Amino acid sequence: MSIHIVADPSSIASTVLLPGDPLRARHIAQTYLTDVTQYNEIRGMYGFTGYWQGNRVSVQGTGMGMPSFSIYANELIDSYGAKRLVRVGTCGTMSEKLKLKDILIAQAADTDSAINKSRFGSYQFAPTASFELLNKAYGHAKAAKVGFAVGNVFTSDQFYDMHGEQKKAIARSVGTMAIDMETCELYTLARLKGIEALTLLTVSDSLLTGEQVSPKERQITFNAMVDLALLTLFD
């Protein structure tokens, strides 16, 4: 049994959606799944398992940032046998090609974190999505005619960063499209542990214009992203 997820080993599916906010985990379970059971509430980080169109799937909140995310991803993989992890969250856009309410399909992650330096030393590992999931998400997004882009995300260790503008300029200079705080760790763990992983992010705000999506619009666009995630995993 793991420390932060306390559940029967059979209660968690091999496919898991990973929102940062545990209340979003509950929303996904209540809105999309049938025959739902709650398997975790330790530290208020809710986890649920149910069925989507006959397919067994779990939803686990992870908290914000790579250290918190890493705890839940490691435990899901090592203690509960998770084989496919899909992060569903929000991001801030840095690209004119990625508008408010669009979905970013993250192909790879840049970072300012020292986590991978502590793992790999001077070796500069490039964390990338699982191609099969990425390709399926791209096809379903095109068919659904939703606003989306495929590109890199900058995974930052700091929400309030005194060097944020400098880092944003560097990220934009190499074509990185948005900022989040978890994807680099997801993609790194997936490669280290031999599982499939993908990040889908709804654009909630613009770092270029300062615009933000209203709470009501955020919920609608978040649902579109979850639709895309489930189709990618099970269609």
Helix, strand, or coil (residue 232) = helix
Amino acid sitting at position 89: G
DSSP 127-148: -B--HHHHHHHHHHHHHHT--E
- Residue with structure tokens 């899909």? 86
- Are 132 and 179 contacting, i.e. CB atoms less than 8 angstroms apart? no
Q: What residues act catalytically?
A: 205
Residue 43 CB neighbour total at 10 angstroms: 13
Report the alpha-carbon distance of residue 165 to residue 174 in Å, rounded.
15
Report the alpha-carbon distance of residue 61 to residue 28 in Å, rounded.
11
Structure tokens at 25: 């985990």
* Run of H or E residues at 107: strand 103-111
- Are 39 and 154 contacting, i.e. CB atoms less than 8 angstroms apart? no
- Are 167 and 161 contacting, i.e. CB atoms less than 8 angstroms apart? yes
Percentages helix, strand, coil for the chain (3-state, rounded to 5) are 40, 30, 30
